Amino acid sequence: MGAKMKTNRAAAKRFKLTGSGRVKRNRAYHGHLFTAKSPKRLRTLRKSTMLAPCDEARARKMLGK
């Protein structure tokens, strides 16, 4: 019997699995330089979204699921 797969810790901090099995992620570009971004844009960036379907299999593999 082979060794267990280790969870990629960087991926575990960035992605979560939803109840239906989709992969949830936070939006990029919400780290700095806020004065150049409109309040509407910053509000949208606070919300999480789903990972693109083409990347889901790779993320799930890194999460060990």
pLDDT exceeds 90 at position 4: no
Domain extent listing, the chain:
9-63
Span 6-62, pLDDT tens digits:
999 999 999 999 999 999 999 999 999 999 999 999 999 999 999 999 999 999 999
Q: How far is CA 33 from CA 28, 29, 36, 38, 47, in A?
A: 13, 9, 6, 11, 18
Report CA Rg, the chain: 15
pLDDT at residue number 5: 86
CB 42 within 8 A of CB 15: no
Residue 2 pLDDT grade (very low, low, confident, very high; cuts 50, 70, 90): confident
Domain 9-63: top CATH class: few secondary structures
pLDDT exceeds 80 at position 1: no
Written as one letter, the residue type at 29 is Y
Measured over the CA atoms of residue 5, residue 26, residue 50 and residue 56, the dihedral's sign is negative
Strand partners of residue 15: 25
